Homo-oligomer: A and B are copies of this chain.
Amino acid sequence: MNEDAVSDSGWFRGVDPGDGSSARHAIEHGSAESPAAWPDHAVESGFVDNRSQYYEVLHDVTTAVARTQVREREGTDVQRIIHCVRAMDDVERVANELAERVSAWAGASFDDPGTGIEYAREIADETAADSEDRRGALDARLSSLAAQVRALDDEGQALRDTIERVTPEVAPNVSMLAGPVLAARLIALAGGLETLAKKPSGTVQLLGAEDALFAHLSGRASSPKHGIIYVHEYVSGTAPEHRGTAARALAGKLTIAARIDHYSGDRRPELQAELDERIARIRERGD
């Protein structure tokens, strides 16, 4: 226990009752070795007039402090999600690039080189007793390169696991509707949960399609119907002629979900039911 950090006075010692900021600082950063009859001390010291006033002040201050702390911690979590989703994309991309190199290299030694990360993992795992010749023919550097691909692939998976664990804590409703990874991508594209919550639905619909939108605005292409939300089954799994409508419906619900996640944090299971119903209707009748 750090003696320096421990005083034996209540949180209100030295705090001006009219100065909320110093009160909040005292609650958050103060400390004491033992409890004491703080309400009585507060009255005796003249911090408040009576016990009931003390509890009133205490309620306001503790609530304000906790709210700020929660907001800060969630902001940190949002930043973490953004970094994780960007890192995951980076890691998956470079794993695929190096896997291509492994495949091209292995093609020089074997007649049947496979492709992709799975094949690189095979090369890295090449230890089976029945493939001794093959192992002998395997360049040590190629094995090592393949092991890098395997490690990157594992890293990508670990990042995905983290995203899937943390995103529903921070954005439960967006995660419910979009799945945690797409939710994380939307938050990352918007630059935060708050900025996502403040965007109009039409913008959310086109997040990740900025290039296509710019091409459209420059008169070089038709208007894009959807951005990253295309990967959602409710968009990509809807017939092309209704896809724009489905994207608009999904973006609408996601926008509501983001606002609830940011401003209240309640879980609203009914959002999912409403979205399900709306998409079913669009797929049936196109509206």
Footprint of B on A, CB under 8 Å? Answer: 79-80, 83-84, 86-87, 90-91, 94, 97-98, 101, 104-105, 108, 139, 141-142, 144-145, 148, 151-152, 155, 158-159, 162
Closest B residue by C-beta to A107? B83
Name A86's closest neighbour in chain B (CB-CB).
B101
* A144 vs B101: C-alpha distance when bound (angstroms): 23
Question: CB distance A155 to B162 under 8 Å?
Answer: no
- Known A90-B98, A148-B155, A151-B151; 6 more pairs at CB < 8 Å: A86-B101, A86-B104, A90-B101, A94-B97, A94-B98, A148-B152
Chain B residues near A101 (CB, 8 Å)?
A: 83, 86-87, 90
A-B contact pairs, 27 of them (CB 8 A): A80-B108, A80-B141, A83-B105, A83-B139, A83-B142, A84-B141, A86-B101, A87-B98, A87-B105, A87-B141, A87-B145, A90-B97, A90-B98, A91-B98, A91-B145, A91-B148, A94-B94, A94-B98, A141-B158, A141-B159, A141-B162, A144-B155, A144-B158, A145-B155, A148-B152, A148-B155, A151-B151
